[in-house]
């Protein structure tokens, strides 16, 4: 095999990559050393802005295979036939920490999936929990600020974390999830994934359904205690990345079975609580899980930066037969995710290989901008409508229209008969075994007892009391015991 020739970015061969050019032996460096200047300038620009949330992540390629007929609910082509396979890319992530954080920490996990369908890319952006901390996107920046490093101390502060939660009672359900046994997954392979939000499916007859996605791990759910996680972080801060990489390299391909809950659109208005509230789950007794297919991961990325760090997901990347719901948090994400990627990666980030459609052709009038690689032919026009046979609209909406009414303004969501912030947290607590309850109480008390303000502690305790009398009493006693030590 012949030796490959090292070149500059312009393709010129490099004569010496060990020594910089100088004015004589031992003299000062020369500005004319193009290779040195190019290497240093490029090195200074290697890092792009990291994600504000979900900064630390891992990814893999795979496929989604349809196993059950769901054409009665959606006309999405990639779901139209049993046995149909669609190439996918998934990115797992923690939420609050920076790119340099550890994997095995108590934090929700991102579960972002890109389907490369023949009708365009479909992005399903969820978490490993079926609920979230807040229900309105206007609170999201404040929530994340409370969980991130304090601007003065430079570290995550229990006072900030619990103060926000004390003043956001809707977080009680997600806190109960996060502080419970599933708060620290043993690996990305051993956790479930959820769309979390409510989405809309529309069938060929135009009937609309609201759906929730559930990806059940076929490896079984495995989680870590706080002590096990601390030990693992000390051994390998990249434990989840290591596990995923090595499993796929060994041919032990992780998989998940996708189920959906399906609610006829007409039932949403009179359901006993707001079905578009992301702080709540739909009971399976009301809307049972219906199997759709299986997700299999079978290929690692060749380059983590190019394919994982530059992977861009947006929940507004829908395909015909799938669309949004009135879920306010989802509505906010329809803007925020795509905007974040335009900031991080540029207006043409969708042309990067990991983000570009693989089974569909992009044909529109978007032009120019930083790093543009798609131009079209010399006859193509850059406006529409035109008389030159350019791409034209179909007139077929992706999903069914949603009826709206009322006055514009800032409104709280209309109350349903069972709309409160605590009852599902209480139901979750009562489902736990005695051992699970004990660990949940210990995890909550361990953080809440570090809060310095009594009023913040009392507000949080009131939330747990409202969820379940025993739950609140045990948290209160555990916090008091830790503060008296």
Q: Which residues pair with 210 in a beta bridge?
A: 200, 263
Question: For 308, which DSSP code?
Answer: I
CA–CA dist 257, 192 (Å, integer): 9
CA–CA dist 58, 155 (Å, integer): 24
Q: What is the DSSP string of 137-164?
A: GGGHHHHHHHHSB-TTTSSB-HHHHHHH
- Residue with token string 């380059």: 303
How are beta strands 120-127 and 255-264 bridged, if at all?
A: unpaired
Look at phi and psi of residue 484 and say left if phi exceeds 0, alpha if psi is from -120 to 50, else beta. Answer: alpha
Q: Which residues pair with 213 in a beta bridge?
A: 260
Which residue numbers are catalytic?
54, 127
68: nearest Cα among 262, 216, 258, 349: 258
What would the two tokens of residue 146 be? 């409370």
Q: Residue 163: count other Cβ atoms within 10 Å of its Cβ.
A: 20
Q: Say if CB 117 and CB 86 are below 8 A apart.
A: yes
CA–CA dist 456, 159 (Å, integer): 8
Q: Say if CB 288 and CB 332 are below 8 A apart.
A: no
**For residue 446, what are the contacts with CB-CB under 8 A and spacing of at least 6?**
226, 482
- Residue with token string 């004569």: 15
Q: Name the 3-class secondary structure at 209.
A: strand
């Amino acid at each position: 095999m012949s030796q490959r020739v090292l070149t500059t970015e312009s393709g010129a061969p490099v004569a010496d990559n060990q020594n910089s050019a100088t004015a004589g032996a031992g003299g000062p460096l020369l500005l004319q050393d193009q290779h040195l200047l190019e290497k240093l300038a490029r090195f200074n620009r290697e890092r792009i802005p990291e994600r504000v949330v979900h900064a630390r992540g891992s990814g893999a390629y795979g496929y989604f295979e349809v196993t059950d007929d769901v054409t009665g609910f959606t006309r999405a082509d990639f779901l139209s036939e049993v046995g149909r396979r669609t190439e996918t890319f998934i990115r797992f992530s923690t939420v609050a920490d920076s790119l340099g954080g550890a994997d095995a920490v108590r934090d929700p996990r991102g579960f972002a999936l890109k389907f490369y369908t023949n009708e365009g890319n479909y992005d399903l952006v969820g978490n490993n929990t079926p609920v979230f901390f807040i229900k309105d996107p206007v609170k999201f920046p404040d929530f994340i600020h409370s969980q991130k490093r304090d601007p003065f101390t430079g570290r995550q502060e229990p006072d900030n974390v619990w103060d926000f939660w004390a003043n956001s009672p809707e977080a009680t359900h997600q806190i109960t999830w996060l502080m419970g046994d599933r708060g620290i997954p043993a690996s990305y392979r051993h956790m479930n994934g959820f769309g979390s939000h409510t989405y809309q499916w529309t069938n060929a007859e135009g009937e609309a359904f609201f759906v929730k996605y559930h990806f059940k791990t076929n490896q079984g759910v495995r989680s870590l205690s706080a002590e096990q996680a601390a030990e693992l972080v000390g051994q390998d801060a990249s434990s989840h990345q290591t596990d995923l990489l090595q499993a796929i390299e060994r041919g032990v391909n992780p998989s998940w079975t996708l189920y959906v809950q399906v609610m006829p659109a007409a039932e949403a208005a009179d359901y006993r609580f707001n079905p578009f509230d992301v702080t709540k789950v739909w009971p399976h007794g009301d809307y049972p899980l219906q199997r759709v297919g299986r997700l299999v991961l079978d290929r690692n990325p060749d380059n983590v930066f190019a394919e994982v760090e530059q992977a861009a997901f947006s929940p507004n990347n829908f395909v015909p037969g799938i669309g949004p719901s009135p879920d306010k948090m989802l509505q906010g994400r329809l803007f925020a995710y795509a905007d974040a990627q335009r900031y991080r990666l540029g207006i043409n980030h969708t042309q990067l290989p990991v983000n570009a459609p693989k089974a569909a052709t992009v044909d529109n009038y978007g032009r120019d901008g930083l790093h543009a690689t798609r131009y079209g032919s010399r006859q193509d026009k850059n406006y529409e409508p035109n008389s030159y046979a350019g791409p034209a609209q179909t007139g077929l909406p992706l999903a069914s229209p949603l009826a709206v009414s009322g006055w514009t303004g800032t409104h709280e969501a209309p109350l349903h008969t069972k709309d409160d912030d605590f009852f599902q947290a209480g139901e979750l607590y009562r489902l736990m075994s005695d051992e699970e309850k004990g660990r949940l109480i210990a995890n909550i008390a361990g953080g809440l007892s570090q809060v310095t303000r009594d009023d913040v502690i009392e507000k949080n305790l009131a939330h747990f009391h409202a969820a379940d009398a025993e739950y609140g009493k045990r948290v209160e006693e555990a916090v008091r015991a830790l503060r008296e030590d």
